[in-house]
């Protein structure tokens, strides 16, 4: 008997659905694409329980005949692919898999031009008459009810709903002449009347950010790049802030993203992503949209040419930002631009001043304390008779791999430090003897050298202190309320974390689509509050059901840590001792905030091994 058998049609459809239908937003994307291909100029959506219970989409497009209804739910049946030409696709749909895939994991009902067909988890029913006569109405309900394994992988209602809104907004940007309306059980989620592309970008991204954007238009015989580049100061921590459309498809493309990153690389900090809305139109012959079932990825014929064109086009326009002025109004925080305190407001200025003075101590240039670390280390090594003239020739021949293996062993040993008490033995770090490259503090114990990354440990100390000090009572009120305009996704995130923010020293409330900030934690007085809030409202981690408090504390602490001792700072011996004393009281000091080692220890025996001493 043969071991190989043909899968059932039902299982084949469910496998296909697994490739296409990841979440409710996937269904909305597929159905809107069909409505656009049907020449609709108005699309209405109803989303119940973030799409789990029901999704209804109505359009005023061409509609379907009873014969079309019957074929539409069959796999690989399409009206959009002619002459078997996969290299000349100009419509959204062409695979003929969307509707049958949806029908295999839900209850699907299609009404069009007075007729209706329904499919219950791949079980097809007869065509009957319907009262819906203008365009097409599709109802999807009970998503994944018969596939509990798929259902449990859906995220919270807020996260799923933000994905749905994002899909609608993308289509609103690519088709400004089509009206879009979406609502859920309680309210209108978003609406886009027929208007200009600029109005829609302003609505989706925010009018304040858009006011600093510049228009870009570059084209040649093969492709056209048009859209808006946003100010480098408005860069984001997440790449999802980039909206890239190729032939009106929202795509995730590494080639285009890399081109944007390369163009902005000299004017935005590492780890941040430039905000942009880019529309790329290219001859279909030069790309393949048939790479993934969801059509969210594409492949270019000549990636180097495409990447260079986009990068050069963006660089050519970046100088326009020189004419855009960005200023931070310190008076909002109760300080004049020269740093003078405005006394009529009841801030805890004494504490602030003490903290500020303490931080300023680290900015003093201790010229007299610039210890020659090379000489000091040499003296220490000479004292232990580690190096002599006869061995110098051997030292020069030490293989780098040997040293690397030893350092890796040291690094592995450091992982055990997690288990030590928060109060470290006084002899653990030893006594400082100087700096190397104004970056590393060098200490010695009886039989060890300790090398400390001064910036890494100071940043970790500050962050842990900040995280533990955040509370409702640690706040300062601003003179004029800071008001931020939020888009639909940011509103959902803000509503979910507003109580946590207020517990951590903010005074924040929301009025419609405006976030109003009346007070901030004392430690954020020198932080760009607008950028801080837009950053924390960008990522899904902020609306995760778990660790919201930890995520916010980490973000606040990170924003407040910019005054840490930096690499390149000359430190006095007393400053080094102060840093070491703080290290002894800080939990998990062995690694920095970025999970890199903050110090290493090299024992005398390890040095002997390096220099091949017995």
How many CA atoms are closer than 13 Å to the CA of 125, on its beta-carbon side? 14
Do 183 and 212 share a domain, yes or no? no
CB-CB contact of 349 with 335 (8 Å): no
Kindly state whether residues 440 and 585 are assigned to the same domain.
yes
Question: Which among 195, 221, 252 is the end of a domain?
Answer: 195
pLDDT of 101 reads 87
Please indicate, yes or no, whether residues 526 and 433 belong to a single structural domain of this protein: yes
Last residue of a domain, one of 323, 338, 371: 323
Residues 472 and 415 placed together within one structural domain of the fold: yes
Domain that holds residue 319: 198-323
Residues 182 and 220 in one domain: no
Residues of the chain with pLDDT under 70: 1-3, 5, 7-19, 76-96, 289-297, 322-426, 539-552, 554, 557-567, 587-588, 591, 594-595, 614
The secondary structure of 121-138 as a DSSP string is TTEE---EE-S--SSEEE
Would strands 42-48 and 179-183 be described as parallel, antiparallel, or unpaired? parallel
Q: Do 175 and 246 sit in the same domain of this protein?
A: no
Q: Please indicate, yes or no, whether the overall pTM of this predicted structure exceeds 0.85.
A: no
Residue 118 has which token pair?
């329904």
Residues 203, 183: one domain?
no
Note every long-range contact of 304-310, with CB atoms under 8 Å and residues 24 or more positions apart, other chains counting: 305/222, 306/223, 306/255, 306/256, 306/259, 306/282, 307/255, 307/256, 307/258, 307/259, 307/262, 308/259, 309/218, 309/220, 309/223, 309/225, 310/225, 310/256, 310/259, 310/260, 310/263, 310/278, 310/280
Q: Which of 173, 195, 217 is the last residue of a domain?
A: 195
Residue 76 sits in a domain whose CATH number is: 3.30.565.10
Same domain, 310 and 282: yes
Strands (E), 390-513: 431-436, 440-444, 448-453, 475-485, 507-511
> Do 172 and 242 belong together in one domain?
no
Q: What single-letter DSSP state applies at residue 231?
A: P
Residues 360 and 299 in one domain: no
Convert the pLDDT of each residue in 529-538 to its tens digit: 888 888 888 7
Other Cβ atoms less than 10 A from the Cβ of 194: the count is 12
pLDDT at position 47:
96
User: How many structural domains does the chain have?
Assistant: 3
Torsion of CA 350, 356, 361, 362, to 10 degrees: 160
Same structural domain, 316 and 446: no
Q: Where are the beta strands (DSSP E) in 24-170?
A: 42-48, 54-59, 107-112, 115-120, 123-124, 128-129, 136-141
pLDDT at position 521 is 86
d(CA 403, CA 413): 15
């Amino acid at each position: 008997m043969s071991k190989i058998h043909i899968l059932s049609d039902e299982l084949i459809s469910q496998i296909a659905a697994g490739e296409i239908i990841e979440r409710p937003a996937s269904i909305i994307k597929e159905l809107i694409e069909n409505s656009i291909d049907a020449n609709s100029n108005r699309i209405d959506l109803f989303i119940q329980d973030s799409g789990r219970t029901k999704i209804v989409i109505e359009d005023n497009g061409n509609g379907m005949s009873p014969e079309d209804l019957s074929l539409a739910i069959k796999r690989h049946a399409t009206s959009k692919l002619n002459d078997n030409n996969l290299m000349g696709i100009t419509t959204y749909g062409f695979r003929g898999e969307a509707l049958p895939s949806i029908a295999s994991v839900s209850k699907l009902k299609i009404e069009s031009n007075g007729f209706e067909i329904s499919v219950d988890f791949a079980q097809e029913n007869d065509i009957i008459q319907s009262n819906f006569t203008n365009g097409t109405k599709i109802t999807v309900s009970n998503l994944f009810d018969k596939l509990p394994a798929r259902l449990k992988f859906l995220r919270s209602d807020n996260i799923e709903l933000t994905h749905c809104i994002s899909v609608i907004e993308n289509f609103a940007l690519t088709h400004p002449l089509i009206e879009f309306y979406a609502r859920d059980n309680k309210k209108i989620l978003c609406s886009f009347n027929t208007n200009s592309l600029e109005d829609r970008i302003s609505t989706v991204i925010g009018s304040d950010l858009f006011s600093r954007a510049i228009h870009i238009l570059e084209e040649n015989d093969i492709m056209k790049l048009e859209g808006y580049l946003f100010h480098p100061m408005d860069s984001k921590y997440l790449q999802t802030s980039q909206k890239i459309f190729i032939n009106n498809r929202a795509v995730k493309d590494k080639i285009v993203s890399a081109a944007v990153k390369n163009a902005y690389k000299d004017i935005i900090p590492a780890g941040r992503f430039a905000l942009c809305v880019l529309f790329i139109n290219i001859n279909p012959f030069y790309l393949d949209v048939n790479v993934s079932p969801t059509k969210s990825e594409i492949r270019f014929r000549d990636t180097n040419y495409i990447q260079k064109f986009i990068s050069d086009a963006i660089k050519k326009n970046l100088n326009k930002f020189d004419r855009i002025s960005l200023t931070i109004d310190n008076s909002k925080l109760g300080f004049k631009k020269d740093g003078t305190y405005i006394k009529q407001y009841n801030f805890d200025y004494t504490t602030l001043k003490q903290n500020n003075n303490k931080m300023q101590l680290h900015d003093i240039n201790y010229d007299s304390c610039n210890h020659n670390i090379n000489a000091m280390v040499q003296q220490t090594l000479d004292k232990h008779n580690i190096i002599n003239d006869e061995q110098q020739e051997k030292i020069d021949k030490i293989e780098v791999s040997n040293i690397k293996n030893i350092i890796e062993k040291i690094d592995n040993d450091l992982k055990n430090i997690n288990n030590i008490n928060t109060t470290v033995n006084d002899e653990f770090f030893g006594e400082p003897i100087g700096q190397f490259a104004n970056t590393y503090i060098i200490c010695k114990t009886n039989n060890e050298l300790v090398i400390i990354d001064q910036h890494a440990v100071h940043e970790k100390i500050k962050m842990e202190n900040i995280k533990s000090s955040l509370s409702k009572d640690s706040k300062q009120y601003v003179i004029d309320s800071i008001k931020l305009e939020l888009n639909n996704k940011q509103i959902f995130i803000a509503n979910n974390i507003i109580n946590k923010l207020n517990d951590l020293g903010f005074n924040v409330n929301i009025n419609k689509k405006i976030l109003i900030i009346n007070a901030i934690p004392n430690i954020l007085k020198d932080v760009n509050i607008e950028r801080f809030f837009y950053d924390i409202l960008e990522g899904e981690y902020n609306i995760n059901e778990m660790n919201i408090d930890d995520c916010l504390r980490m973000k606040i602490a990170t924003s407040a840590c910019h005054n840490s001792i930096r690499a390149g700072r000359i430190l006095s011996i007393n400053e080094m001792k102060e840093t070491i004393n703080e290290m002894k009281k800080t939990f998990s000091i062995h690694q920095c905030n970025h999970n890199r080692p903050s110090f290493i220890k090299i024992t005398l025996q390890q040095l002997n091994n390096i220099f091949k001493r017995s």
